[in-house]
Chain A
């Protein structure tokens, strides 16, 4: 009797649970039907008084967008004018593509993408960016055409520049050079000599975080610029279109130059075991005399070294050519291809707002990583080093080559440069492996002309 009662109770519990589950499912379906019908009838605008939430995926190496106070300074006006909330999903540059891809696969809401410019072409190729031509008012009034060209594919604009225009520099500690009576090296030979003298005094030459292999390709852009007789961009186009190979002499020579850097001990020992922060710490603490990087490092180094900081061009490794720096007109801000229809207009308004001259100037003032603004109308900081960069480095700056390379090739370059600098691979072997990766992509249907 008892077991019959227990059995009946158990059966009832199961049946009730199933009915409850089905009931809540129906309620969800009916409520979502109500939401979608109201949104379709109002053609992508919310009833007034109801706040819309925009989700912005952004790379944030300088921790600006993850600082609530800075976010409030930058976006209070936008939020008030549009009755909107902003949710920033931030991550470091090196992990941004993975983070965005995982979120997109999971179906998480994404409205606006603020990415390192290196990823824009890849995102466009995957169909993750919506076209902006026609949606954005007169971008040429705010940006240089070359900056817009970097994000124009098949004649259509897919992103706008934001953040900062960048170039590269060898940062150096003036005090160390003065202390040991050294001149800032202009050629590779001078660099080797200077490094040797510094080491005698317990100081490293150029500090770098080789474990963060993400930054290694910048070195390669510098050496390739010279070994290709200042023709690296054209060579890149030809290679990606199949008219040249990564194993061609200019490419191998550029990689050999980096191998020489490693062999001659230009970097601090253990360069591949130190990450980016450790490399910068070595320079900022005076244990290394130089650091090579982008202008996004300027703000922090100026804070740490003050008047002791100087900047100079990359050393000449091949006589008869000019030093050519590497950089861009600005990172990319774009509209997610599958943005919810009811948030599309607001997302475009956000992109316009973020790239306006007023907000770009405001962003310059809060982000320590901005030396040169991406907007051509924004004032440049009254800083001698910024003016030097603008006068001497910007005019000889070519766009980062990894903005054109497919991401698989970029990653292979990162690994191979690390191996070559660490003397674990020869330059020839490294370039052959990179060519193999590229050949594999072509075999699987990669077509650079389809991504131009």
Chain B
């Protein structure tokens, strides 16, 4: 056996455990899930093949488009705010000053809290009669006790309230990624800019931001994927209500598959539609990254 053949074989053998794990936990379930999406099944009795009927039903279901639009609104609302806030936080916490470790820890605490805890906590904060939010707004004259703002009870405010919670929970996570990116920028570039007379503001725009582009892109992609994958916060706080005004693709999928109708076939077709959306976002990300690297 030649050396190159042995090396190739060795490479495949080294990859084998990962490939096996990938097949067992990703590929095979994906294939089985696709099979379910082509069937009518209540999760308990026999499965019956129905072809693409679940998909034709999905693409003519107004509830699907409503849920998708909520995901899109959620993405726009949370990605922009999280990226800006987390970048600012990362810039503020980039230096070495007294208490920086403490502040970084505090910033990260919401990230490690369980979704259920976060959901219940914020349900009470947004409670129209007892909640901290309306009490504080009342101090500012922006809320009336006998006619309070219905954060989670109004279709106008519920999605906004959920977005606020998402931003609160995940900003720290994105800030940490930005922080890592900032720490990867060589100091001598700033020194060179300073020697050339650049102010701090100009250094930020002409040195920091361009060099942070790959990190920014990563954070935007993660945030966008997270917005389409959102489930826990929505399910814990509103279950898609009021009147389905916060229903997103995953809550719709959960409801169809495991809820009253127990329609696993239809539920998995929603999951596959979401899968395609996530793949598209990832493909866009990879394309932009590749273009940047080539440039």
Contact = CB atoms under 8 A, between A and B. Distances in A.
Contacts of A102: 43, 258
B126 interface: yes
Nearest to A123: B44
Interface stretch (B146-154, B194-202, B222-230, B273-281): B146-154
Given A97-B259, A98-B258, A411-B259, A278 B127 contact: yes
Interface string A401-425: 0000011101100011011001011
Interface string A80-101: 0000000000000000011001
Interface in B20-69: 42-45
Interface string B235-264: 000110111100000000010001111101
- Among B16, B152, B241, find the residue whose CB has the most chain A CB atoms closer than 10 A: B241
B243 A419 contact: yes
B129 A282 contact: yes
A272 B262 contact: no
Interface in A174-200: 199
Contact of B242 (A11, A104, A202, A272): A272
Interface string A264-301: 00001111111100100110000100000000000000
Contact of A269 (B16, B146, B244): B146
Contacts of B258: 98, 101-102
A408 B63 CA distance: 14
B154 A422 contact: yes
B153 A273 contact: yes
A181 B39 CA distance: 64
Given A14-B13, A272-B241, A419-B242, A210 B260 contact: no
B150 A272 contact: yes
A10 interface: yes
A240 to B, nearest CB: 15
Interface residue range, chain B: 35 or more
Contacts of B42: 126
Q: Is the interface of A mostly helix, strand, loop or mixed?
A: helix
Contact of B145 (A101, A202, A424): A202
Given A10-B10, A97-B259, A418-B241, A269 B150 contact: yes
Q: Is the interface of B mostly helix, strand, loop or mixed?
A: loop
Interface string A108-131: 000000000000001000111000
A101 B43 contact: yes
Contact of A128 (B44, B126, B129, B242): B44
A213 B243 CA distance: 10
Contact of A211 (B45, B129, B238, B262): B238
B14 interface: yes
- Among A10, A11, A268, A272, find the residue whose CB has the most chain B CB atoms closer than 10 A: A272
B129 A278 contact: yes
B129 A270 contact: yes
B153 A274 contact: yes
A407 B146 contact: no
A445 B46 CA distance: 16
A416 B241 CA distance: 11
Interface residues of A, number: 46
Contacts of A4: 6
A443 B235 CA distance: 30
A424 B148 contact: no
Contacts of A3: 3, 6
Given A14-B13, A273-B150, A411-B260, A104 B44 contact: yes
B45 A287 contact: no
A126 B46 CA distance: 11
A105 interface: yes
Contacts of B262: 101, 126
Contacts of A406: 260
Interface string B170-202: 000000000000000000000000000000000
Contact of A278 (B10, B130, B148, B238): B130
Interface string A194-219: 00000100100000001101000000
Contacts of B126: 273
A282 B129 CA distance: 8
Nearest to A98: B258
Contact of A270 (B16, B124, B150, B264): B150
Contacts of B128: 268-270, 273-274
Given A411-B260, A418-B241, A210 B153 contact: yes
A444 B258 CA distance: 18
Top 9 A-B residue pairs of the complex, sorted by shortest distance between their CB atoms: A273-B153, A270-B128, A407-B260, A272-B153, A105-B43, A419-B243, A270-B150, A273-B152, A273-B150
9 contacts: A3-B6, A105-B43, A105-B44, A210-B153, A211-B238, A270-B127, A270-B149, A272-B150, A411-B260
Interface of A: 3-4, 6-7, 10-11, 14, 97-98, 101-102, 104-105, 122, 126-128, 199, 202, 210-211, 213, 268-275, 278, 281-282, 287, 406-408, 410-411, 415-416, 418-419, 422, 424-425
Given A4-B6, A268-B129, A272-B242, 19 more contacts: A7-B10, A14-B13, A104-B44, A126-B45, A211-B152, A211-B242, A269-B129, A269-B150, A270-B127, A270-B148, A272-B152, A272-B154, A273-B127, A273-B150, A408-B260, A419-B243, A422-B154, A424-B242, A424-B243
